[in-house]
Amino acid sequence: MEIKSFSVLHVCNLQIDDLYSLNKSTIEYATLVKENIGDLPAATLARLETGNNAPGEQMNKALD
User: What is the extent of the structural domain holding 45?
Assistant: 16-63
Note whether residue 28 is domain-resident.
yes
Is residue 10 domain-resident?
no
Per-residue pLDDT tens, the chain, 64 aa: give them: 788 888 888 878 888 888 888 889 989 998 998 889 899 999 999 998 998 888 777 777 766 6
Residues 55 and 20 sit within 8 Å (Cβ to Cβ):
yes
| 5 lies in some domain | no
Rounded Cα–Cα distance for residues 26 and 51 (Å): 13
DSSP state of 58: H
pLDDT for residue 63: 66
In a domain, 8, yes or no: no
Task: For 5-47, give the DSSP string.
Answer: ------GGG--HHHHHHHHHHHHHHHHHTGGGS-HHHHHHHHH
Residue 1 lies in a domain: no
The pLDDT value recorded for residue 17 is 84
